[in-house]
Chain A
Amino acid sequence: MAVTRRTKKQDANETAALLQAYKRMLSIRIAQEELVKLYMEKKIFSMVHFYIGQEAVAVGVCDALKKGDKVMGNHRSHGHYLAKGGNFRRLVCELLGKANGSARGKGGSMHMVAKEVNFVGSTPLLGSVVPISAGVAFEQKYNKRGTITVAFYGDGASEEGVVYETYNLAALYKLPLLLVIENNLFSINSYIKNRRSGNYDVKKIVEGLGVRYEQADGNDYHDVHEKARALVDSIREESEPAVLECMTYRHMAHSTPLREESYRSEDTAEKRQESDSLKKIHDELLGAGISEKRLSALENTMRASVRKDITFAERSPYPKKSELYTNMYAT
């Protein structure tokens, strides 16, 4: 076969796609950074599990999906919600406990939902979302919808019994389900090597229960995206579940924006900075000829927009007292 030269058009398309991915990841990063400020000003009266550092996973996976595909998440789901197209303004309102939040102030940070973009919901109890996502995939298969479901959960959650149970059940029922483990080394503050025997092997476990397994560098958008796309295509084709484990770093503490370092020997601040997925794409874009000036202008525009949404949320009304009693039962 003759070697084809890359055309300028191909290069331009690639740069445009890269810029698009960068924008999506950056918007999540900036949103989080601004939310940190709100948290430090004690305006968010609940736990917040910040997603900073893991953006390549949510965006890399969601970029491989179609609109009709469904996504679910866990306690650390701002990124998943936004990557699937969830409205940022409604997210901030929710975090501030306002009536126009995505869950009308009843859920808060750990209970993200945006059904209008098929972000079905996030639920924070470790591993709980995994069988629920299998049920969502079950419906897609039952009604022959041709869509798939994705659930995001952490390395800690992946140790829960119900998750092992669900691998088998999803394989048994041949469900169109992609399970994404975001392995950030910590379950709260417990280091993975203190939680698992030396012989613990996620690949063997997953495959041993009948589910396909891939691992990706969760700090690299391209690696996550390519592997996710291949798995999504095959899940859609074959209706067989798969696990994609993304090795990544959580830049902040478990449920606060503090940067506690005492327990971190593997993912040091330096290492996190150096392997940061956004920094990588930023450098790639510079290499592709996008100017620093253009990139920082982009960042400024995004930050201004985020701040506007935050101001809107701060001015939004709280739910009325009567709301306490509504929605326990659906009617």
Chain B
Amino acid sequence: MAERILKYADAIKEATEQLLESDRRVFVLGLGVPQGAGGTTTGLSEKYPQRVLDTPSSEAALTGLAVGSAISGLRPIVHHDRVEFGLLASDQMFTQAAKWNYMFGGGNPVPLTVRIVVGRQWGNGPQHSQALYSMYGAVRGLKVVIPSSPRMAKGLLIAAVRDPNPVIVLEPRWLYQTKQIVPKKMYEEPLEKARVVRKGKDITVVAYGDGLVSSHEACELIGNRVSVELIDVVSINPVDHDTIKKSVMRTGRLLCIDTTSEAFGVGSEVIANVMKTCTLEARPLVLAAPNVPCPTSTALTEFYYPTRADVANAILRALKKPTIRHTLTFQELHLAPTLTLP
């Protein structure tokens, strides 16, 4: 069969459609879901009117309803179009779904999937572009994944829905237009495993989501000047520290990329764990957005998110190599990428 290229949003839609088709327990709900949810559910309500549901603008109630249906054996997929709206359902995710099986001594699974769109988008400013990864990483009882490509988006969503636990899928909006070859059949990507996406021996770069895409591009810029081992964290709850440590023990160098504020970030968490058991050849590094909210003006956001040039130069500096001059266009800096990923 010919390979096909799908956009990130279309890969999510394909996974959702296949899940609806193959498992009667699956249903989807969220504000605007029948109207398409950024292309991830477009048209599905025509085929499944009772299972692709619009809701009131009541995030806590609709998420709670999903929790209740999950403890009864259904497989709901909740969609929150922004993490800030998802926060309104924090009690239901963090305190109810995440604790349910533990607090009742087991035997009380919550097969809930919550898809939350997070992070950067042009002109969205302080209250529409947070990512809050670390907040989700810190809550015990949840599984939390960040799909970094269309292929991951499809495989992780299928795995999330089939898992008997509450899984939060944090989808970077910045990647929604990226493309990739995506298998047509149903397949799962493991929920709790980091992935070595590029083999190397000089330095381990740990990234996720949109930061992984910038890191891929940075490797292209660097060429063969440095041999980079690139790891996609994939899961931030729990973090697969073993895969990361194994790599760092070989390379002796570690750079973490965070596409949100550095404080209490994924990078800090990874470094803290690596340092407990590994001896490095150089100080571990984090490249992250600064510890301020994300502003709106392009004159300021230009300096907010680490770019591929920033990542490339951080790698080169870590290896004491000359840095490069590389300028991104306005389009590249401020509009979501449409590139095809390897």
- Our verdict on whether A and B bind, yes or no, reads yes
Interface residues of A in 87-142 (CB under 8 A from B): 101-107, 111, 113, 115, 120-121, 123, 125, 128, 130-140, 142
Question: Is the pair B103, A103 in contact by a Cβ cutoff of 8 Å?
Answer: yes
Indicate if B110 sits at the interface (CB-CB under 8 A).
yes
Indicate if B165 sits at the interface (CB-CB under 8 A).
yes
Question: Is the pair A133, B103 in contact by a Cβ cutoff of 8 Å?
Answer: no
Of A135, A137, A169, A326, which contacts B71 at CB under 8 A?
A: A135
The chain B residue sitting closest to A168, CB to CB, is B56
How many whole Å from A98's CB to the nearest CB in chain B?
11
Question: Is the pair B69, A327 in contact by a Cβ cutoff of 8 Å?
Answer: no
- Contact pattern, B 26-65, Cβ under 8 Å of A = 1, otherwise 0: 0100000000000000000000001001011010111111
Question: Is the pair B101, A327 in contact by a Cβ cutoff of 8 Å?
Answer: yes
Residues of B close to A135: CB separation below 8 A: 64-72, 76
- Contact pattern, B 81-107, Cβ under 8 Å of A = 1, otherwise 0: 000000000011001100011111111
Interface residues of A in 131-172 (CB under 8 A from B): 131-140, 142, 161-162, 165-166, 168-169, 172
Of B63, B100, B107, B110, which contacts A131 at CB under 8 A?
A: B63
Indicate if B74 sits at the interface (CB-CB under 8 A).
yes
How many whole Å from B102's CB to the nearest CB in chain A?
5
Question: Is the pair A168, B58 in contact by a Cβ cutoff of 8 Å?
Answer: yes
Residues of A close to B64: CB separation below 8 A: 128, 130-132, 134-135, 162, 166
CA distance A153 to B55 in the complex (A): 24
Question: Is the pair A139, B74 in contact by a Cβ cutoff of 8 Å?
Answer: yes
Question: Is the pair B91, A162 in contact by a Cβ cutoff of 8 Å?
Answer: yes
Of B61, B110, B140, B165, which contacts A166 at CB under 8 A?
A: B61
CA distance A101 to B104 in the complex (A): 10
Indicate if A331 sits at the interface (CB-CB under 8 A).
yes
Residues of A close to B164: CB separation below 8 A: 329-331
Indicate if B121 sits at the interface (CB-CB under 8 A).
no
Indicate if A328 sits at the interface (CB-CB under 8 A).
yes
Question: Is the pair B102, A327 in contact by a Cβ cutoff of 8 Å?
Answer: yes
Question: Is the pair A111, B101 in contact by a Cβ cutoff of 8 Å?
Answer: no
Q: Assuming A132-B68, A135-B64, what are 7 further A-B pairs, CB within 8 angstroms?
A: A120-B71, A125-B96, A131-B68, A135-B66, A135-B71, A162-B91, A330-B108
Residues of A close to B103: CB separation below 8 A: 103, 106-107, 111
Question: Is the pair A134, B68 in contact by a Cβ cutoff of 8 Å?
Answer: yes
Question: Is the pair A326, B106 in contact by a Cβ cutoff of 8 Å?
Answer: yes
Question: Is the pair A136, B68 in contact by a Cβ cutoff of 8 Å?
Answer: yes
Residues of B close to A113: CB separation below 8 A: 104, 108
Interface residues of A in 198-240 (CB under 8 A from B): none
CA distance A135 to B97 in the complex (A): 12
Question: Is the pair A103, B92 in contact by a Cβ cutoff of 8 Å?
Answer: no
The chain B residue sitting closest to A133, CB to CB, is B68
Indicate if B115 sits at the interface (CB-CB under 8 A).
no
21 A-B pairs whose Cβ atoms sit less than 8 Å apart in the complex: A113-B108, A115-B108, A120-B71, A125-B96, A128-B91, A128-B92, A131-B67, A132-B68, A132-B92, A132-B96, A134-B61, A135-B71, A142-B27, A161-B60, A162-B92, A169-B56, A327-B102, A328-B140, A329-B164, A330-B101, A330-B165
Residues of A close to B53: CB separation below 8 A: 173
How many whole Å from B185's CB to the nearest CB in chain A?
26
Q: Please provide the 3 A-B residue pairs with the shortest distance between their CB atoms, ordered closest to farther.
A: A135-B68, A131-B64, A104-B105
- Contact pattern, B 241-282, Cβ under 8 Å of A = 1, otherwise 0: 000000000000000000000000000000000000000000
Residues of B close to A106: CB separation below 8 A: 102-105
Residues of B close to A137: CB separation below 8 A: 68
Given A125-B91, A329-B101, A329-B165, A142 and B65 contact (CB-CB distance below 8 Å): no
How many whole Å from A145's CB to the nearest CB in chain B?
10
Interface residues of B in 150-170 (CB under 8 A from A): 164-165
The chain B residue sitting closest to A323, CB to CB, is B105
- Contact pattern, B 107-131, Cβ under 8 Å of A = 1, otherwise 0: 1111000000000000000000000
Residues of B close to A330: CB separation below 8 A: 101, 106-110, 164-165
CA distance A326 to B109 in the complex (A): 13
Question: Is the pair A169, B68 in contact by a Cβ cutoff of 8 Å?
Answer: no
The chain B residue sitting closest to A327, CB to CB, is B106
Given A105-B105, A128-B91, A169 and B60 contact (CB-CB distance below 8 Å): no
Residues of B close to A121: CB separation below 8 A: 71, 100, 104, 108
Residues of A close to B65: CB separation below 8 A: 131-132, 134-135, 138, 166, 169, 173
